[in-house]
Amino acid sequence: MKIKIYYINLFSRLFSGKNLRTFWDIFYKITSYSILQRQNDRKYWPEEWKKIYYKSYSKNKEIAGSLFTTNEIESLITSRRSSRKFNNYKISSADILRILLVSSGIASPNNGSKMQKRTYPSPGSLYSLNIYPIVLNGDGISRGIYHYNVLRNSLEVLKEGDFREKLLVISPQEWIKYASVVFIITTSIDRLYPKYNRRSYRFAFIEAGHLGQNFYLESFLLGFNCCAIGSFLDEELIKLLDLTNSKEAPIYAITIGK
């Protein structure tokens, strides 16, 4: 027992304060893909990957609920699906910015408050996430990599060019190249450390999940198809975004198109 407590204390000391960075680096590294497994192709899936489990206390008394939705927001949530049906639809910058504003922008820009809350929940309103739209098929907007400037609700041009083949190497899923735009979500987890210490690891991913759902709902509402991407070669994506010497790391991506 004493030995166990000793190791717990040692571990806590090692991975607290200034060493949090090291813990993040280790965590990110050991959960990174360097080659992509065949998870994305259903034909390689064993039977157990296709089963959905439902927990049940079948011997207990139960209270049954209605299976019907009653309003538009409920219908939007229940009809949301991941769709990879993309056909090189050329998206306008106005649509990209509208999706970004509603999914992730400042919720009430003119309310005069110093604390500018956004459209998704964030631990302590610290907003650790950054968004890099990669435009693959644009109408009046060049193909390339952009950064979403939240305060100005604008797109900042980072690199112009066709990144479809590069993205297919980073995440070999054929349908991606027919999409309109891929939103890469990174975390600057250092924004969370001072307040939350090692709890920050949990919080960054929860925050990204909330943001991802907003992307799904808003793009669906505007008639776009949408699919999340969690499988990508981390180091390759870091290089593409020129984040090699940065404390930011990609954790999620959302693809939209028609």
Ligand X SMILES: Cc1cc2nc3c(=O)[nH]c(=O)nc-3n(C[C@H](O)[C@H](O)[C@H](O)COP(=O)(O)O)c2cc1C
- Work out the burial of residue 234: count CB atoms within 10 Å of its CB; fewer than 13 is exposed, 13-18 middle, 19 or more buried: middle
Q: How far is CA 171 from the centre of its chain?
A: 14
Contact pattern for ligand X over residues 3 through 42, marking x by CB under 6 A: -------------------------------------x--
Per DSSP, 33 falls in state: B
Q: What phi and psi values does residue 70 have, to the nearest 5 degrees?
A: -120, -15
Contact pattern for ligand X over residues 44 through 83, marking x by CB under 6 A: -------------------------------------xx-
Q: What phi and psi values does residue 232 have, to the nearest 5 degrees?
A: -155, 160
Bridge partners for 118 per DSSP: 106
- Other CB atoms within 10 Å distance of the CB of residue 174: 10
- Distance in Å, CB of 76 to ligand X, minimum: 13
- Distance in Å, CB of 150 to ligand X, minimum: 22
Q: Quick one: tokens of 253?
A: 């991506």
- Distance in Å, CB of 85 to ligand X, minimum: 12
Q: Which residue is nearest to ligand X (CB)?
A: 230
> Among residues 122 and 173, whose Cβ is nearest to ligand X?
173
Contact pattern for ligand X over residues 161 through 200, marking x by CB under 6 A: ------------x---------------------------
